[in-house]
Amino acid sequence: MEQRFLRRLMGVFILLVLVLACDKSEMPVPNVHFEVYVDLTLPQFNKQMFIFNSDGRQKAGVAGVIVYQNTLDSYYVYERYCPYDGDSGGVVDLDESRSAAVCSTCGSQFLLGTSEGGVLEGPATYSLKTYTSRREGKYLIISN
């Protein structure tokens, strides 16, 4: 009797592990490893918000990044690849108000100026992917 109970308990445990392991709700944005140095003294990067894709030597993120300066030495960095559908290849751009990013493919809108880059309007359900940054002298170093 006790052995039968242990077998059933083990069966339930294995089933639970399999169900949890099959969760497909991962962020659809590919994970790429990078580290870029952005010279903040250059005019195109010496502003509160800018887009950085590549400077010919180094590439940021999957589809480039949006950089938002929060304080003098604090920045939020968001991936431009839309998290709605990993297969659509949608890219977000700044809207006219520059307080949100909008995907030209699915129309999703994301709030900028926060640490999350949260969804304002769907169909996307995931926030923009964010990256770490730190300032060293005149450079902003962005990486994941």
- pLDDT of 143 above 60: yes
In tens, the pLDDT along 26-53 reads 778 889 999 999 999 999 999 999 999 9
Question: Dihedral angle at the C-alpha atoms of 101, 105, 106, 111, nearest 10 degrees?
Answer: 0
Is 30-143 a domain of CATH 3.30.300.30? no
Both structure tokens of 45: 């990067």
What's the DSSP call for residue 76? E
> What was the pLDDT predicted at 4?
60
Contact 64, 53 (CB under 8 A): yes
Domain boundaries, the chain: 30-143
Q: Of 86 and 29, which is predicted with more confidence?
A: 29
